[in-house]
């Protein structure tokens, strides 16, 4: 029987109803690493006989792709494909599909929640009470403040709409601004420098840059004193060393992070900082987002491979 490899951690340990459609189409569903991110060796071992690969955020390297001699499609259960060697996939004639917008609401709501948590110091307040201490720190209100978005795709657009509803002003930088998106008078597109310099909160909704960090020491230096930096996108967007220095100096009020280069990370020292709010890649980990992403990922996969029967 031909196989479909499934790796997203959100479903690989407990399954998902959408996977029944693969079995009904005559495919055997294989989980190389149930409940965790597979390594390269585990993926290579799973490739023989595989025609479809429903992929999570694990690195899909050239070695993995070339091991899939029968592989026809890599279907991501998310929008990002920076973890996939697209050149190798193209050379091998393998289609790469994305589930654009499927987890946008979940990620957008986490971004907004992270902003509020950072502005009010909610995690630190919770820790103090759990430690039987009564420690209060004065927060800030987001109403009337400026939110800067780097990236204004489906997630960024939802963040903008929610933030406007909270009374914020929103400026967005996107090299390809979406035509017709204008959710209100307090929204505008701006250049990268303006977004960096004029924002009280900066939220990242863009892919990593091949040229290096999107937010490095120079960008942080140009930010407002006391700015909040929210990253629900990718680990490689922010120079953690520069961000840590800015937290220590008071230049940044807080940094939030939801994605890591390796998951779980080997080094937890950055998220251990008192003013870093870390979450274990839960942006799209809601019932609604998982359901939508899996349904679309399976549809995309079957559109390429068809039925095995």
pLDDT reported for residue 79: 85
Q: How far is CA 36 from the centre of its chain?
A: 17
Task: Out of 76, 145, 253, 281, pick the active-site residue.
Answer: 281
* Over residues 228-250, mean pLDDT: 97
| 84 pLDDT higher than 90 | yes
The CATH number for 104-278, chosen from 3.40.190.10, 3.50.50.60, 3.40.50.720, 3.20.20.30, is 3.40.50.720
pLDDT reported for residue 80: 84
Nearest CA to 119 among 233, 226, 271, 238?
226
- pLDDT band at residue 41 using 50, 70 and 90 as cut-offs: very high
147-159 pLDDT, tens per residue? Answer: 999 999 999 999 9
Task: Indicate the average pLDDT of the chain.
Answer: 96
Q: How far is CA 273 from the centre of its chain?
A: 21
d(CA 236, CA 73): 26
pLDDT reported for residue 23: 94
pLDDT reported for residue 175: 96
* Over residues 257-283, mean pLDDT: 95
pLDDT reported for residue 293: 94
d(CA 284, CA 106): 5
| 1 pLDDT higher than 80 | no
- pLDDT band at residue 28 using 50, 70 and 90 as cut-offs: very high
* Over residues 76-93, mean pLDDT: 93
* Over residues 169-198, mean pLDDT: 97
176-190 pLDDT, tens per residue? Answer: 999 999 999 999 999
| 260 pLDDT higher than 90 | yes
* Over residues 247-259, mean pLDDT: 97
Instruction: Give one DSSP letter per residue of 164-225, joined into a string.
Output: HHTT-EEEEE-SSPPTT----TTEEE--HHHHHHH-SEEEE-SPPBTTB-SB-HHHHHHSPT
Task: Out of 28, 66, 161, 263, pick the active-site residue.
Answer: 263
Q: Which residues of the chain are in CATH 3.40.50.720 domains? A: 3-101+287-305, 104-278
* Range 3-101+287-305: architecture per CATH: 3-Layer(aba) Sandwich (3.40)
Task: Out of 171, 234, 253, 275, pick the active-site residue.
Answer: 234
| 142 pLDDT higher than 90 | yes
pLDDT reported for residue 78: 87
User: DSSP E strands: which ranges in the chain?
Assistant: 3-6, 28-30, 50-55, 73-76, 95-97, 146-150, 169-173, 187-189, 201-204, 227-231, 252-257, 276-278
Percent of the chain with pLDDT over 70: 100
263 is known as an active-site residue = yes
């Amino acid at each position: 029987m031909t196989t479909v490899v499934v790796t997203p951690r959100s479903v690989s340990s407990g399954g998902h109803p959408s996977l029944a459609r693969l079995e009904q189409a005559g495919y055997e569903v294989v989980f190389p690493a149930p409940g965790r991110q597979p390594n390269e060796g585990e993926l290579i071992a799973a490739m023989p006989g595989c025609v479809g690969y429903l992929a999570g955020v694990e690195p899909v390297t050239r070695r993995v792709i070339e091991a899939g001699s029968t592989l026809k499609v890599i279907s991501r259960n998310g929008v990002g494909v920076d973890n996939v060697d697209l050149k190798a996939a193209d050379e091998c004639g393998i289609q790469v599909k994305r589930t654009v917008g499927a987890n946008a609401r979940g990620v957008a709501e986490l971004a907004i929640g992270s902003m509020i948590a950072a502005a009010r110091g909610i995690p630190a307040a919770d820790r103090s009470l759990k430690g039987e201490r009564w420690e209060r720190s004065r927060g800030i209100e987001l109403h009337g403040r400026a939110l800067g978005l780097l990236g204004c795709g489906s997630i960024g657009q939802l963040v903008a709409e929610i933030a406007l509803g909270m009374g914020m002003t929103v400026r967005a930088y996107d090299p390809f601004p979406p035509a017709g998106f204008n959710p209100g008078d307090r929204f505008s597109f701006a250049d990268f420098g303006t977004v960096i310099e004029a924002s009280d909160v900066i939220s990242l909704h863009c892919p990593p840059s091949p040229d290096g960090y999107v937010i490095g020491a120079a960008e942080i230096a140009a930010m407002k004193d006391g700015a909040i930096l929210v990253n629900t996108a990718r680990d490689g967007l922010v120079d953690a060393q520069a961000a840590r220095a800015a937290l220590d100096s008071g230049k940044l009020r807080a940094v939030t992070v939801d994605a890591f280069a390796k998951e779980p990370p080997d080094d937890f020292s950055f998220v251990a900082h008192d003013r870093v709010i870390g979450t274990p890649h839960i942006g799209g980990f809601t019932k609604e987002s998982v359901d939508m992403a899996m349904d679309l990922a399976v549809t995309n996969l079957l559109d390429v491979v068809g039925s095995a029967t």
